[in-house]
Amino acid sequence: MTISFFETKELGEEHLRKKLEKTSEKIFFSSEKIDAENLPKDNSAQIISIFVKSKITKEVLEHFPNLKYIATRSTGFDQIDTEECAKRNILVSNVPRYGANTVAEFTFALLLTLSRKIYQSYYRLKEEGIFSTEGLGGFDLNGKALGVVGSGNIGRYVIQMAKGFGMNIVAYDVKPDEEFASKMGFEYVALDKLLSVSDIITLHVPLFKSTHHLINMENISSIKRGAYLINTSRGAVVETEALVRALDEGILAGAGLDVLEEEVMMHGDFRKSESKIIQANKKLIEMDNVIVTPHNAFHTKEALIRILDTTVENITGFINGKPINLVEE
């Protein structure tokens, strides 16, 4: 078998090579992403492994005549045309559970940064040298209503943590888990209802056709005035123009965003981009009541090791004829 890894870092390469060298004849590593504009010269791989910056389209699949298996080292798999893979009998696995606590912890990092004005406090003291609380008043999480959109692995962790903060929870999910809801003491409601009662809305659904622009121009008017939005899922779950409007009009008081729509176009100097969405992203980044981070929620040393170990299990499972963690939309 030949395996080509893309978007790898040195430390990861060492770990993967050690664990996979017995199973494969050739292992290639590239720190580059792969998409239709960045196709590698060597196209002999039967297995490829990518992360979130790559885009596996029909053109990329055509480039690899021997490809049988794709192992993404992420939970989300929206960067892969899974319908085209199915037509070509190419299996796809993800890493479903490496970072539920990791991403949930980051969700609260974003929320607390907003609720307690941590960035402004830090900036005031470090950059301005002023030791004053003037204008730095925040709000408590205790007693606030948290709306969790998507109660899967990450959403559940968020719910457990929110309980610790004394928050009141409502959730929306296409597959509600009533047993978990009664154990944790929260209720599932329709999306519109969640938007209208939540002081804080946090998104934890995958990016599917059904969740693309789940928060949009039509339903932003349902949002409780002055609510906050946290998005650590995928940028395109929110219609960016609608988000900008909701912030401009004070429907939302603020937002914490680890992901942005079309963020893959932002790895170079995005500030000169003429794309309407990138311009809107730039506007979000510049807003004082918005904190944007560069898709960093997954990024802890513990989570990275779990990602690599599950990827090794995924690849060896496939090689041994017992594929695991296969994705379905």
**From residue 127, how far is each of 120, 130, 134, 197 by CA, in Å?**
10, 8, 16, 38
HSE-CB of 112 using CA atoms within 13 angstroms: 10
Active-site pick, 15, 73, 204, 234: 234
Contact region for ligand NAD (CB under 6 A) — 159-167, 204-212, 240-248, 263-271?
204-212
HSE-CB of 260 using CA atoms within 13 angstroms: 24
Q: Please name which of 177, 180, 143, 149 lies closest in space to residue 162, comparing C-alpha atoms.
A: 143
Q: Which of residues 296-325 bind ligand NAD (CB under 6 A)?
A: 297-298
Contacting residue, 259, 260, 278, 280, with ligand NAD by CB under 6 A: 259
Contact 278, 241 (CB under 8 A): no
Which x/- pattern over 159-178 shows residues binding ligand NAD (rule: CB under 6 A)?
Answer: -------------xxxx---
Contacting residue, 232, 240, 311, 314, with ligand NAD by CB under 6 A: 232
CA dist., res. 97 & res. 100, Å (int)? 6
147 lies in the binding site for ligand NAD (CB under 6 A): no
Return the bridge partners of 100, or none.
none
233 lies in the binding site for ligand NAD (CB under 6 A): yes
When the beta carbons of 4 and 101 are compared against ligand NAD, the nearer one is 101
Contact region for ligand NAD (CB under 6 A) — 30-38, 58-66, 207-215, 309-317?
207-215
When the beta carbons of 46 and 233 are compared against ligand NAD, the nearer one is 233
239 lies in the binding site for ligand NAD (CB under 6 A): no
Active-site pick, 7, 239, 261, 263: 263
Contacting residue, 50, 53, 99, 244, with ligand NAD by CB under 6 A: 99
The yes-or-no answer on residue 263 being catalytic is yes
256 lies in the binding site for ligand NAD (CB under 6 A): no
Residue with tokens 């990329």: 60
Q: Report the residue count for the chain.
A: 329
- Identify how many contiguous H helices and E strands the chain contains and give both numbers: 11, 12
Least distance between ligand NAD and beta carbon 303 (Å): 8
**From residue 35, how far is each of 49, 60, 243 by CA, in Å?**
13, 6, 28
Backbone angles phi, psi at 168, to 5 degrees: -100, 130
154 lies in the binding site for ligand NAD (CB under 6 A): yes
Least distance between ligand NAD and beta carbon 291 (Å): 14
Size of the site for ligand NAD (CB under 6 A): 30
Residue with tokens 């791989």: 45
CA dist., res. 102 & res. 107, Å (int)? 9
144-182 residues labelled b (16+ CB within 10 A) or e (exposed): bbbbbbbbbbbbbbbbebbeebebbbbbbbeeebeebbe
Which helix (H) or strand (E) segment is 147 a member of?
A: strand 145-149
When the beta carbons of 90 and 304 are compared against ligand NAD, the nearer one is 304
The yes-or-no answer on residue 178 being catalytic is no
Contacting residue, 208, 264, 275, 306, with ligand NAD by CB under 6 A: 208
Tell how strand 200-203 and strand 187-188 pair up. unpaired
Known catalytic residues?
234, 263, 295
Give the residues lining the site for ligand NAD (CB under 6 A).
75-76, 99-100, 103, 150-155, 172-175, 204-208, 210-211, 232-234, 258-259, 295, 297-298
